[in-house]
């Protein structure tokens, strides 16, 4: 198994990491970190809801303060208001530590104001991190070279990673963070299409997700624009052009653009609403 652990003094040393918030994203990144050899603790108010993590060797607890205190790196994966309240509570436990926020819409400077003695990184991934297929973006103003290497190593446990300007984070949350939901909808629609023309359900599902994975890999590895690759498949008088005609008639591209714009706008609205939240009350 390929293990993304940190190389310190020539040796591979697993990190002790706490993931505060064992929801969908928190559980996904905890599993990825665990698979890559790190010692992981996950928190949630109701530990029964993350019992599946305990079964694979991940420590679970309801104590955010204790988890943060006992770890080298803290990852926050909660809803915005919950995260800000927790950050205020654990401020003392984060002194001198690296804290990575996976919280949507909360700006780096607001996180830093609540945990001033920590090194803060704002990041965003998606649920595909669970299988190492995520795309994780991050930003931070004051990372040392050593901490930058730590951040990249950890985020690579979730898949591809890239440093970006913070001004893009809300849009990337809408595009990549929410993106799997769009793709799941496409897969479901393709399966229904297969069922409509008589394919067995399992075969329609397998063909749908494999086609999407293959097409995405071709875009990633060929370097060609998607429109060029689409044209390769679309022959005069063939079956593909009839299908594309129906998709264009449905306004599919406009629908996707509107969806991403709406999600970006919502992230910005939440971000603006959080500006005056002090971590204690709405």
Interval 256-266 mean pLDDT: 98
Query: Per-residue DSSP letters for the chain?
Result: -----EEETTEEE--EEEEE--SHHHHHHHHHHHHTT-EEEEE-SSGGGGHHHHHTT-EEES-HHHHHHT-SEEEE-S-HHHHHHHHHHTGGGGTT-EEEE--TT--HHHHHHHSTTSEEEEEE--GGGGGT-EEEEEE-SS--HHHHHHHHHHHGGGEEEEE--GGGHHHHIIIIISHHHHHHHHHHHHHHHHHHTT--HHHHHHHHHHHHHHHHHHHHHH---HHHHHHHH--TTSHHHHHHHHHHHTTHHHHHHHHHHHHHHHHHHHHHHHTT--SS--
* 95-151 per-position pLDDT tens digit: 999 999 999 999 999 999 999 999 999 999 999 999 999 999 999 998 999 999 999
Query: pLDDT tier at 62 (50, 70, 90 boundaries)?
Result: very high
Q: Using the predicted structure, report yes or no on whether residue 3 has a pLDDT greater than 70.
A: no
Within 13 Å of residue 100, how many CA atoms lie on the same side as its CB? 26
* 146-173 per-position pLDDT tens digit: 999 999 999 999 999 999 999 999 999 9
Buried b (16+ CB within 10 A) or exposed e, 102-112: bbbbbbbebbb
Interval 230-247 mean pLDDT: 98
What domains sit in the chain, N to C, each tagged with a CATH number?
6-169 (3.40.50.720), 179-250 (1.10.3730.10)
Interval 191-199 mean pLDDT: 98
Q: What is the mean pLDDT of the chain?
A: 94
Q: For residue 9, what pLDDT is reported?
A: 37
Q: What is the percentage of the chain residues whose pLDDT exceeds 70?
A: 94
Q: Using the predicted structure, report yes or no on whether residue 279 has a pLDDT greater than 70.
A: no
pTM greater than 0.75 (yes/no) = yes
Distances 34 to 1, 43, 51, 56, 58 between C-alpha atoms, Å: 12, 15, 15, 9, 7
């Amino acid at each position: 198994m390929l293990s993304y652990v940190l190389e310190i003094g020539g040796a591979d040393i697993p990190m002790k990491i706490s993931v505060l918030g064992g929801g969908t994203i928190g559980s996904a990144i905890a599993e990825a970190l665990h698979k890559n050899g790190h010692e992981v603790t996950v928190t949630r108010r109701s530990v029964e809801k993350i019992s599946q993590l305990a079964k694979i060797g991940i420590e679970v607890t309801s104590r955010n303060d204790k988890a943060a205190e006992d770890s080298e790196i803290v990852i926050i994966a909660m809803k915005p208001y919950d995260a800000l309240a927790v950050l205020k509570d654990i401020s003392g436990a984060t002194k001198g530590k690296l804290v990575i926020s996976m919280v949507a819409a909360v700006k780096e400077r607001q996180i830093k104001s609540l945990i001033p003695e920590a090194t803060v990184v704002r990041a965003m991934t998606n649920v595909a991190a669970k299988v190492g297929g995520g795309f994780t973006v991050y930003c931070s103003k004051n990372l040392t070279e050593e901490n930058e290497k730590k951040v990249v190593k950890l985020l690579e446990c979730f898949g591809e990673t890239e440093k970006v300007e913070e001004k893009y984070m809300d849009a990337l949350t809408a595009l990549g963070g929410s993106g799997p939901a769009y793709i799941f909808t496409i897969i479901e629609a393709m399966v229904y299409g297969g069922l409509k023309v008589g394919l067995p359900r399992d075969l329609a599902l397998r063909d749908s997700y494999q086609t999407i994975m293959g097409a995405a890999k071709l875009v990633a590895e060929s370097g060609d624009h998607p429109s060029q690759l689409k044209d390769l498949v679309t022959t005069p008088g063939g079956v593909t052009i009839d299908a594309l005609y129906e998709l264009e008639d449905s306004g599919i591209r406009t629908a996707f653009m509107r969806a991403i714009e709406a999600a970006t706008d919502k992230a910005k609205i939440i971000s603006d609403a959080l500006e005056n939240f002090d971590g204690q009350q709405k």
